[in-house]
């Protein structure tokens, strides 16, 4: 890789840039962002080497698009208008069905590889970028058969060089599974934070009494609403389905407590402890 362009130099785009520098230190990284302060900050931090525009991407070996998914619907077709024969365009969106549909009939569809590296933190902006964010993380690839072989091969090699695990899935399955594994946890965290803020009017009480359990559970409530609202909108049907099932479980747990059936409460929690074995097995 000689030149990579990053559209959106925040946490995900900036971390991708730093990850590339780990394995290809001589690769030129060009940043593109609608926020000039982000570009300046990314350049100062050494995340990018230069700034550019979408019209310049013909010189790139790879373009990495890391922007809110609602903007991807309009930006990706524009990006594909400017690709050269050897440019592959990759996105990092947390939804895939609408994005794949947006470029489905584009004349340069074969230059696009739909991906979702499952990595992130609750922070945002270039200063939050981490060079190791993508190491040992799963990257979901959708509709790989729609991407020209030599271009997908180039992107997949880079992902492997950066330490990512690759998994293939169709866009519909991706959006359904990710609603359970990511989108629901963010909503739960936001609503837990809201419940506490609504009830505990004294901010000092929240600060003094928040234990590690509360802090870890509410961590995702620090995430960017500008990023997550479009995700919930694009994956609305699947997210509502997961919320319905989650609410049923909460109501069931509440009913067990109301009936003083704490043996069943213990059983529910004990059965759910199996999640630690599942997650430990993935490490």
- Examine the domain organization and report whether 50 and 178 are in the same domain: no
What pLDDT does residue 202 have? 65
- Examine the domain organization and report whether 107 and 227 are in the same domain: no
- Examine the domain organization and report whether 72 and 9 are in the same domain: yes
What pLDDT does residue 279 have? 82
Q: Number of structural domains, the chain? A: 2
What pLDDT does residue 215 have? 80
CATH number of 228's domain: 1.10.3660.10
Percent of the chain with pLDDT over 70: 95
Distance CA 68, CA 225 (A): 10
Given 142, 169, 196, the domain boundary residue is: 169
- Examine the domain organization and report whether 128 and 194 are in the same domain: no
* Residue 212 clears pLDDT 90, i.e. is over it: no
Q: What is the DSSP string of 100-169?
A: HHHTTT-TTGGGEEEEEE----S--SGGG--TTTTTT-EEEEE-GGGS-HHHHHHHHHHHHHTTPEEEE-
- Examine the domain organization and report whether 38 and 132 are in the same domain: yes
Contacts of 176 (CB under 8 A, 6+ apart): 238
- Examine the domain organization and report whether 193 and 73 are in the same domain: no
What pLDDT does residue 207 have? 61
Given 146, 169, 192, the domain boundary residue is: 169
What pLDDT does residue 282 have? 57
User: Once rounded to an integer, what is the mean pLDDT over residues 100-121?
Assistant: 97
User: Once rounded to an integer, what is the mean pLDDT over residues 208-226?
Assistant: 82
- Examine the domain organization and report whether 42 and 95 are in the same domain: yes
- Examine the domain organization and report whether 127 and 214 are in the same domain: no
User: Once rounded to an integer, what is the mean pLDDT over residues 135-146?
Assistant: 98
Confidence of residue 199 (pLDDT cuts 50, 70, 90): confident
- Examine the domain organization and report whether 141 and 38 are in the same domain: yes
User: Once rounded to an integer, what is the mean pLDDT over residues 167-181?
Assistant: 97
Arithmetic mean of pLDDT over the chain? 94
Distance CA 134, CA 6 (A): 15
Given 169, 204, 230, the domain boundary residue is: 169
Q: Average the pLDDT over each of 27-36, 59-68, 84-93, 197-206 and give the range with the smallest value.
A: 197-206
Kindly provide the b/e burial profile for residues 14-35, where b requires at least 16 CB atoms within 10 angstroms of the residue's own CB: bbbbbbbbeebeebbbbbbbee
What pLDDT does residue 205 have? 66
Is 141 in contact with 167 (CB distance < 8 Å)? yes
* Residue 203 clears pLDDT 90, i.e. is over it: no
* Residue 283 clears pLDDT 60, i.e. is over it: no
Q: Average the pLDDT over each of 43-57, 89-103, 113-127, 268-282 and give the range with the smallest value.
A: 268-282
* Residue 204 clears pLDDT 80, i.e. is over it: no
- Examine the domain organization and report whether 112 and 237 are in the same domain: no
pLDDT tens digits, one per residue of 258-273 = 999 999 999 999 999 9
Q: What is the pTM of this model?
A: 0.91
- Examine the domain organization and report whether 7 and 137 are in the same domain: yes
- Examine the domain organization and report whether 127 and 89 are in the same domain: yes
Domain limits for position 233: 173-280
CATH number of 141's domain: 3.40.50.720
Distance CA 7, CA 151 (A): 19
């Amino acid at each position: 890789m000689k030149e990579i362009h990053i559209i959106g130099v925040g946490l995900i785009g900036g971390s991708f840039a730093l990850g590339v520098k780990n394995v290809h230190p001589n690769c030129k990284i060009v940043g593109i962002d609608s926020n000039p302060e982000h570009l300046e900050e990314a350049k100062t931090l050494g995340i990018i080497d230069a700034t550019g525009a979408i019209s310049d991407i013909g010189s790139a070996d790879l373009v990495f698009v890391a922007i809110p998914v609602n903007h991807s619907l309009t930006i990706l077709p524009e990006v594909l208008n400017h690709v050269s024969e050897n440019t592959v365009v990759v996105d990092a969106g947390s939804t895939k069905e609408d994005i794949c549909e947006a470029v489905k009939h584009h004349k340069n569809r074969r230059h696009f590889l739909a991906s979702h590296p499952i990595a992130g933190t609750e922070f945002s902006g270039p200063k939050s970028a981490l060079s190791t964010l993508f190491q040992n993380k799963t990257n979901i690839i959708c509709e790989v058969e729609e991407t020209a072989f030599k271009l997908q091969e180039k992107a997949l090699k880079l992902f492997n060089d950066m330490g990512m695990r690759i998994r293939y899935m169709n866009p519909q399955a991706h959006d359904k599974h990710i609603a359970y594994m990511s989108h629901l946890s963010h909503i739960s965290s936001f609503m837990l934070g809201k419940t506490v803020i609504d009830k505990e009017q004294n901010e000092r009480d929240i600060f003094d009494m928040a234990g590690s359990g509360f802090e870890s559970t509410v961590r995702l409530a620090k995430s960017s609403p500008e990023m997550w609202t479009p995700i919930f909108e694009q994956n609305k049907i699947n997210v509502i389905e997961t919320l319905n099932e989650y609410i049923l479980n909460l109501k069931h747990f509440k009913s067990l407590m109301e009936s003083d059936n704490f043996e069943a409460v213990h059983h529910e929690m004990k059965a759910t402890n199996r999640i630690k074995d599942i997650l430990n097995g993935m490490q």
